[in-house]
Amino acid sequence: MGRRPTANLNLPPMMRARRRRDRTYYYYDTGARPRVEMALGSDYTLAVQESSKLHQAKPTVAMTVGWAIQKYRASHEFAGLARGTQADYNYALDKIDEHFGDAPLDQVTPPHIALYLDKRSQSSRHRALRERAVFSMIFRWCMARGFCTANPAGAIKTRRLPGRKHVDIAADLLIAVYNAGSDALRDAMDLAYAIGQRPADVLRVSETDIRNGILHLRQAKTGAAIRYPVDGELGELLARIRERKKQHGVRCLALLVDERGQPMTRSKLRRRFEAARAACGIAGAQFQFRDLRRIAGMDRRDQGGLDAAQALLGHKSQAMTEHYTGARGQIVKPLGRVRKQVQQCGPVPHRQADSRFGLLPRLDQA
């Protein structure tokens, strides 16, 4: 009988741990003589699963949702996402880990997720739907690697929230927020409306993007390249921004800066816009900074047609532009009056009561 182990007491039978520098690797002892060990990797959970298969025993450690989230965050798929997407995913994953972190993957059922969505919807229906989508993505990622066999989040059918494509900002709301904002906010609003791009792309514009009298921009979401001639009102706007930047001791390459000359960030822009909106007594659902892109598209469509709006917004299809800028409806030339048709056809015939029904008039046949 061998001696009782005093270290690595969490390991199942025939499983060994070897410390190599700053990482622990796990092996399965086949029991052969001389000793033969099979490498199981450095992940403890996966090593226990594989050791249990080799030992033909039930695993003593389950693959949990929290473990799957940790593995996904360390994956190449997560590292390849944009910084803003990673921040959005991390927020959703933290909420999911808080409620399902210790739950085994194969024991999470659709009713569990439905209860979670009901609870999260009490504070934000938008975040609840977003977290359901991230939850479904995590299960699909695990299914592709054999960590689980089903996607319970995929069985939950939800209705998408209505977007803002039918929201047309009135001119008085736009002017009120613009006048209540600081100079830095006005520069950002003017630039967003002038080039008709998403807030993230507007904040990314640099002075190095202006070359040979052309403002070069590449959309981060779609990769579409757009060029704007720096003349007219856009040229006046860029000149005004440069003059304001000269007042600060530090000169940065970012085109939009705050009141101290530092680059305008997403959080800075949001705080300034929300403060200006609150000063006017305007609710968040009435006007959002991203609405400036749609307003620019609708105005350009009214001026130059659907093709001009598509070019400004950088859409790949006119169907998308129609969907995005159709809130105002098409401009349709009305017809003339009925009286004009009557005058062309002659006098109006006399009507008299129908003797058979007494209520329905009929045209005089005389």
**pLDDT digit string, tens, across residues 215-224:** 999 998 888 9
Residue 131, CA atoms < 13 Å, CB-side half-sphere: 27
Looking at residue 136, its pLDDT comes to 94
Confidence of residue 164 (pLDDT cuts 50, 70, 90): confident
In the three-class reduction of DSSP (H, G, I as helix; E, B as strand; rest coil), residue 20 is classed as: strand
User: What are the phi and psi torsion angles at 266 (to 5°)?
Assistant: -65, -45
Q: What is the mean pLDDT of residues 264-277?
A: 94
Confidence of residue 349 (pLDDT cuts 50, 70, 90): low
Structure tokens at 116: 């979670």
Q: Which residue has the higher pLDDT, 197 or 31?
A: 197
Residue type present at position 36: V
Structure tokens at 13: 């039978």
In the three-class reduction of DSSP (H, G, I as helix; E, B as strand; rest coil), residue 310 is classed as: helix
How high is the mean pLDDT of the chain? 86
Looking at residue 327, its pLDDT comes to 75
Structure tokens at 312: 């400004």
Structure tokens at 159: 């209705």
Looking at residue 258, its pLDDT comes to 92
Separation in Å, CA 284 to CA 193, 213, 289:
19, 37, 10
Q: What is the mean pLDDT of residues 98-112?
A: 92
Distance CA(83)–CA(81), nearest Å, equals 6
Q: What is the pTM for the complete model shown? A: 0.67
Looking at residue 60, its pLDDT comes to 64
Q: Is the preceding omega at residue 111 within 30 degrees of 0, hence cis?
A: no
Q: What is the mean pLDDT of residues 284-310?
A: 90
pLDDT(154) > 90: no
Of the listed ranges 87-96, 174-183, 327-336, the least confidently predicted one is 327-336
Q: Which of 86, 92, 84, 59 is nearest to 73 (CA)?
A: 86
pLDDT(352) > 80: no
